[in-house]
Amino acid sequence: MNRLPLALAVAVLALSPISSAQAPAPPADVRALKSFYDLKTTTIDGKPADLGQYRGSVSLVVNVASKCGFTPQYTGLEKLYRDLKGKGFNILGFPSNDFAGQEPGTAEEIQQFCKLNYDVTFPIFEKVVTRLDKSQSPVYGYLWRSGYLPAWNFAKYVISKDGQVAAFFPSRITPDDPALRGAIEKALAQ
């Protein structure tokens, strides 16, 4: 039997939206939300976090991991954050161990890794489950409404000022990609 290489299979999955026929709908409490900014979560420090604090700004939501081939994207994400944070822009990092166990660390280890290796200053939240199952984070339950879920680490969602998913980019799209930058700029202009 002829098999596709893993990289090609991941790329195909990363470009494919998830249809409602393939997976269950998000829980009713998530479906009822009108905005991403209506969600509450927890910071990497274990403190409650209200995503409403980002309402009125554009956010880039990224599922991050410390031991992934895409981990060097932290450099570009931090540069993007520093370039645009004064213009009503945020990056919100959500560590996830969903893909090949590439984020095995504790909250403290994740924080230390991000600070020491990439000098990350954008907000990082608690480790979450992005996949569709009973333990899926409400954050990713809401994002799934766009028809897309991460197929791997470092998938990116551009969230508009009113908390709607404005664009989705798979893992291979880097933070300096013109299409991603264009979607962010468009959302900032609205």
What is the set of domains in the chain, with CATH numbers? 34-189 (3.40.30.10)
Rounded CA gap, 7 and 22, in Å? 22
Give the mean model confidence (pLDDT) for residues 118-133: 96
Q: Which positions ≥6 away from 55 have C-beta within 8 Å?
A: 35, 37, 161, 162, 163
Indicate whether 112 pLDDT > 90: yes
Backbone angles phi, psi at 22, to 5 degrees: -85, -20
Higher per-residue confidence, 183 vs 6 = 183
pLDDT at 128: 97
Is residue 45 within 8 Å of residue 107, measured between CB atoms?
yes
Mean pLDDT of 37-56: 97
Q: pLDDT band for 53, please (50, 70, 90 cuts).
A: very high
What does the pLDDT read at residue 32? 79
Residue 25 has a pLDDT of: 58
pLDDT of 67 over the 50 cut: yes
Alpha carbon distances (Å) from 81 to 10, 29, 68, 144: 27, 31, 21, 24
Confidence at residue 42, expressed as pLDDT on a 0 to 100 scale: 97
pLDDT at 162 > cutoff 90: yes
Dmax (CA) of the chain = 54
Catalytic residues: 117
pTM of the model: 0.86
In this prediction, residue 20 has a pLDDT band, given cuts at 50, 70 and 90, of: very low
User: Which is higher by pLDDT, 89 or 17?
Assistant: 89
**DSSP SS3 for 85:** helix
- pLDDT above 80 (res 139): yes
Give alpha helix (H) positions in the chain: 6-15, 28-31, 73-84, 107-118, 138-143, 178-189
Q: What is the pLDDT of residue 27?
A: 60
Pairwise CA distance, residues 61 & 50, whole Å:
15
Under 8 Å between Cβ of 155 and 135:
no
Nearest to 38 by CA among 27, 50, 29, 28: 50
Q: What is the mean pLDDT of residues 60-70?
A: 98
- Which structure tokens are listed for 35? 């905005």
pLDDT higher than threshold 80 for residue 7 = no
Confidence grade of residue 29 (pLDDT, cut at 50, 70, 90): low
Is residue 21 scored above 70 in pLDDT? no
Beta bridge pairs of residue 59:
90, 159
| Cα distances (Å, whole numbers) of residue 114 to 65, 66, 72 | 10, 8, 11
Share of the chain above pLDDT 90, in %: 81
